[in-house]
């Protein structure tokens, strides 16, 4: 059995979305972006030095994720998957259509079930 374009399919069951109550989300929509803003300011101060800039990048990324999270919970869910070809473990974000195994280069199509 040989195809010109060979790939494997992996079926993943989606995690149940965590129920975020509004009592938690509303304060989070205010507090998390505020913390994110604070982190961004610290990051800006740190990037004044070249070494600080390296540390500031993950800070910016973290700040962005935190600011957006209460508005879109579940968008950033990650799943541990195993390459069906070589058993290498990988992490994929929910609703990604495919990923390529870093070890064997096998393209893997992802099928999501809710």
Alpha carbon distance 47, 30 (integer Å): 26
CB of 8 to Zn ion, least distance (A): 9
What the block records as the tokens of 44 is 């800006």
Query: Is residue 88 part of the contact set for Zn ion (CB under 5 A)?
Result: yes
Query: Is residue 108 part of the contact set for Zn ion (CB under 5 A)?
Result: no
Three-state secondary-structure class, residue 32: helix
Whichever of 58 and 107 has its CB closer to Zn ion, that residue is: 107
CB of 95 to Zn ion, least distance (A): 21
Whichever of 36 and 101 has its CB closer to Zn ion, that residue is: 101
Compute the Cα dihedral for 20, 79, 95, 15 and give only its sign: negative
Residue 114, C-beta contacts closer than 8 angstroms, at least 6 positions apart: 13, 14
Supply angle C-alpha 85, 77, 9, rounded to 5. 25
Query: Is residue 37 part of the contact set for Zn ion (CB under 5 A)?
Result: no
Query: Is residue 101 part of the contact set for Zn ion (CB under 5 A)?
Result: yes
Query: Is residue 83 part of the contact set for Zn ion (CB under 5 A)?
Result: yes
Please pick, from the candidates 29, 85, 90, 94, the single residue that binds Zn ion as defined by CB under 5 A.
85
Per CB under 5 A, residues contacting Zn ion are 83, 85-86, 88, 101, 103-104, 106
């Amino acid at each position: 059995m040989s195809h010109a374009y060979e790939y494997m399919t992996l079926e993943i069951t989606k995690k149940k979305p965590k129920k975020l109550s509004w009592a938690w989300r509303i304060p989070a929509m205010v507090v998390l972006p505020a913390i994110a803003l604070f982190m961004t300011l610290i990051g800006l101060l740190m990037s004044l030095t070249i070494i600080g800039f390296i540390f500031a990048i993950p800070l910016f990324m973290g700040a962005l994720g935190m600011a957006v999270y209460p508005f879109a919970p579940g968008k950033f869910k990650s799943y541990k998957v195993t390459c069906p070809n070589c058993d290498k473990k990988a992490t994929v974000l929910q609703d990604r259509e495919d990923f390529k195994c870093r070890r064997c280069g096998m393209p893997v199509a992802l099928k999501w079930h809710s």
